Amino acid sequence: MIRSKALVIKDTDNVATAIQAIRAGEAVSLGIGEHVLAIKVLDDIAFGHKFALVDIAAGAPVVKYGEPIGAAIKDIKTGQYVHVHNVESIRGRGDKQQPKG
Distance CA(99)–CA(71), nearest Å, equals: 7
Q: What is the pLDDT of residue 1?
A: 46
Q: How far apart are CA 40 and CA 29, in angstroms?
A: 9
Q: Which fold has domain 6-88?
A: 2.30.130
pLDDT tens track of the chain, all 101 residues? 457 899 999 999 999 999 999 999 999 999 888 889 999 999 999 999 999 999 999 999 999 999 999 999 999 999 999 999 999 988 766 666 655 65
Claim: this prediction has a pTM higher than 0.75: yes
Alpha-carbon distance of 2 to 61, in angstroms, equals: 27
Q: What are the boundaries of each domain within the chain?
A: 6-88
The number of angstroms, rounded, from the C-alpha of 71 to the middle of its chain's C-alpha atoms is 11
